[in-house]
Chain A
Amino acid sequence: MGKTLYDKVWEAHEVRKLRNGQSQLFIDLHLLHEVTSPQAFGMLKDLGLRVRYPHRTFATVDHIVPTHDRTEPFQDPLAQSMLEALRANTREHGITFFDLGSGNQGIVHVIGPQLGLTQPGMTIACGDSHTSTHGAFGAVAFGIGTSQVRDVLATQTLAAQKLKVRRINVEGRLAPGVYAKDVILHIIRHLGVKGGLGYAYEYGGSTVEAMDMESRMTLCNMSIEGGARIGYVNPDETTFRYLEGRPYVPKGSEWEEAKRRWLAWRSDPDASYDDVVTFRAEEIPPTVTWGITPGQAIPIDGRIPLLEELPEEERPVAEEALAYMGFKPGQPIKGVPIQVAFIGSCTNARLSDLREVARYLKGHKVKKGVRALVVPGSEWVARKAEEEGIAEVFREAGFEWRMPGCSMCLAMNPDRLEGDELCASSSNRNYKGRMGSPRGRTVLMSPLMVAAAAVAGEIADAREVFGVGAR
């Protein structure tokens, strides 16, 4: 019987069994950011320990970074102190830090792949649940808590429990105007936000094989919203084309050897899975959320469900969502006015996302009264977008072109919703209060759909607003 990539990577990284039956798992790459690491360094100090393998640890600053004016000291002294703490901790322990202005600062899950730090067959950990993003490269990558950040700093290992693997096949061709974001929202809508509990998700099938790397990252990024801590795609030629020549990727004779090594991690053709689910690409519409969990999603031309249409166990959360969002059962989602449009976050702030939006946005204007922000995922993405004229397209359309960071996805910086503003957002979470206002409302969708909403001033179908597919 063959093995999955997950099995192979796990076995290669299992240092030993622990007394309680868990595994001690070696972590190839540890990524740090300013929010979940200072307490870990504090614990390390209390225990009199050092960072064991600083060459395996990389840090950047993303959550608290102001995106409008990054002059230091920041207006928020707490944010400044978190940045200072990370600077001091990385300096003291000899950890590479991609600081503001380094040219490589950015959202931790954008810069890992961009620098080629993220490679197939690796175990990757970071104190952030969207670490699952790196699974797009055939890495076993997962979010950890701060005590585990301490464990990885001190030992480069953590105590872990092996998961089951669910293979998710997506087969066929996506329609124009349908993106990886729609695919993952569709998957979560059907499997549920608890569907992935206890599982790693392996994504495959012809649709996924045809996706570029950045689309695969979007897919894997939101595995966590489906309850799966890990999501991955088997490495292939697409993976290699993306990685070749990046700063941390092997070169010359080592490159061919690396490719051979990476291919060997792929799930065997006869690998056995604990579960297999198949979706058809043609059945996936542009999808938007209407509620307070990422699973509460519907097609753009759909209606908000009637309570009696829902399984009994989903009704209490649906009622709570309707009350919070101020929506009526049976109401079409299209046409709901928005106040804010946000393109950014670790799900959709990569160069390909911005390129795709700019392609259609050119010549359109953001509706008067809508506050529209675009926040590139990294300094590199911002620089490329400037060079390619993408930034100018956004500015001309009336978007605020911001500096890189997590921004209003979780609003730990000054970017946030006010009151009960409704935001069309390319981020990953529509939880109550997520975007900084306890009453703020989030509707998740693809970046192009956010742009359509910004232009229309209401939740809209990008295919209609921009004539997608007609060109």
Chain B
Amino acid sequence: MLEKFTVIRGKAVPLRGEDIDTDRIIPARFMKALTFEGLGQYLFYDERFDEKGNPKPHPLNDPRYQGATILLVESGFGSGSSREHAPQAIKRAGFKAIIGESFAEIFFGNATAIGLPCVSLSPEDLGVLFRTVEENPELEVEVDLVNKEVRFGDRTAPLFIREEAREALVEGLWDPIGELLEAGELLDQFDRKLPYPRRTE
């Protein structure tokens, strides 16, 4: 039985920047592995550490945000490479949800399929949330996928997420493999109906 994501609560870490691509989230050289294990430690590696491995100023290195489980981002987050390593690294670094303005398609799909909800706020609400969290890092933020709202301090902001993704997360259907397998014989019909690449020489 898959986990059902209804309300996610936690401290948030504000990560400013538009169009942050998946190469930045997890540089390609850390993808040389046969599993996703241990990817969390390389999250945003080149932004967090210099070439000698010493920490640089970065929200994820900021002691005030240690233990945060919600990642705050701006727009176009996760553009570029389709690498699932990116949401895997975020999840394995301990994050339970991402709040932003917009997400790249493949990133959003990859994140949803591993149970990492990505929700959008209006630019105004997101701006307020960023400022509030930057002023008060201890603030608890709540992502409520049932009532479709994000709550922080005395504020409630409507959240946006594709309805089918929301349902999948709330109902515990975010990993589709079980349901895909149910198609059974129907798949063989499609395999027979659709000509496939056949070597002809």
Given A147-B84, A147-B113, A155-B183, also A39-B175 (CB < 8 A): no
Instruction: Kindly state the separation between the CA atoms of A129 and B106 in the bound complex, as whole angstroms.
Output: 8
Describe A's contact surface by its main secondary structure.
loop
Q: Is A340 an interface residue (CB 8 A)?
A: no
Interface size on A, residues (CB 8 A): 84
A127 beta carbon closer than 8 Å to chain B: yes
Tell me if B191 counts as interface (CB < 8 A to partner A).
Answer: yes
What are the residues of chain B within 8 A of A35 when measuring CB–CB?
A: 31-32, 83
Give A250 to B32 CA distance when docked, in angstroms: 38
Stretch touching chain A among B63-71, B133-141, B193-201: B193-201
**Contact stretch, chosen from B6-14, B124-132, B148-156, B159-167:** B159-167
Is the CB of A193 closer than 8 A to any CB of chain B? yes
Query: With A39-B35, A156-B187 given, is the CB distance from A117 to B197 under 8 Å?
Result: yes
How near does chain A come to B45, taking the closest CB pair, in angstroms? 8
Contact with B along A418-429 (1 / 0, CB 8 A): 000000000001
Which of A28, A193, A436 contacts B29, CB < 8 Å? A436
Q: What does the 1/0 interface line of A310-325 toward B look like (CB < 8 Å)? A: 0001001100100000
Contact B196 A145 (CB under 8 A): no
- The CA of A92 and the CA of B196, in the complex, are separated in Å by 21
In chain B between 1 and 50, which residues have their CB closer than 8 angstroms to a CB of chain A? 16-19, 21, 23-24, 27-29, 31-36, 46
How far is the CB of B60 from the nearest CB of chain A, in Å?
Answer: 16
**Is the CB of A32 closer than 8 A to any CB of chain B?**
no
Let me know if B196 and A56 touch, CB within 8 A: yes
Q: Which residues of A contact B31 (CB under 8 A)?
A: 35, 412
Q: Are B198 and A155 in contact (CB under 8 A)?
A: no
Chain A residues closer than 8 Å to B23, beta-carbon distance: 410, 429, 431-434
CB distance from A133 to the nearest CB of B (A): 13
B187 touches A36 (CB 8 A): no
Say yes or no: A21-B164 contact (C-beta < 8 A), given A157-B187, A247-B199, A434-B23.
Answer: yes
Cα–Cα, bound, A218→B156 (Å): 46
Contact B24 A127, beta carbon cutoff 8 Å:
no
Query: Which residues on A sit within 8 Å (CB–CB) of B183?
Result: 15-16, 24, 155, 157
Contact at B46–A39, with CB atoms within 8 Å? no
Pick the most buried of B32, B85, B186, B199: most chain A CB atoms within 10 A of its CB.
B32
Complex: A431 Cα to B133 Cα, angstroms:
28
Contact of B105 with A by CB under 8 A? yes
CB interface residues, A 174-220, toward B, < 8 Å: 193-194, 197-198
B109 is an interface residue with CB less than 8 A from chain A: yes
Q: Which residue of B lies closest to A245 (CB)?
A: B201
**How long is the Cα–Cα vector from A413 to B19 in the complex, in angstroms?**
26
Decide if A263 is an interface residue (CB 8 Å cutoff): no
Question: Beta-carbon contacts of B73-84 to A below 8 Å, as 1s and 0s?
Answer: 001100111111
B93 at the interface (CB under 8 A from A): no
Residues A143 and B106 in contact, CB atoms below 8 Å apart: yes
Determine if A140 is an interface residue (Cβ-Cβ < 8 Å).
no
Binding site for A on B (CB under 8 A): 16-19, 21, 23-24, 27-29, 31-36, 46, 51, 75-76, 79-85, 87, 102, 104-106, 109-110, 113-114, 162-165, 167-168, 171, 173, 175-177, 179-181, 183, 186-187, 190-191, 194-201
Which residues of chain A have a CB within 8 Å of any CB of chain B? 12-13, 15-16, 18-22, 24, 26, 28-29, 35-36, 38-39, 42, 47, 49, 52-53, 55-56, 58, 63-64, 76, 78-79, 81-82, 85, 116-117, 119, 127-129, 131, 143-148, 150-151, 154-159, 161, 193-194, 197-198, 224-225, 227, 229, 247-251, 293, 313, 316-317, 320, 410-412, 429, 431-434, 436, 438-439
A sample of 18 inter-chain contacts (CB < 8 A) reads: A15-B190, A24-B183, A39-B36, A49-B181, A56-B196, A119-B197, A146-B110, A147-B175, A148-B109, A151-B177, A158-B176, A159-B179, A197-B104, A224-B80, A247-B199, A410-B23, A433-B23, A433-B24
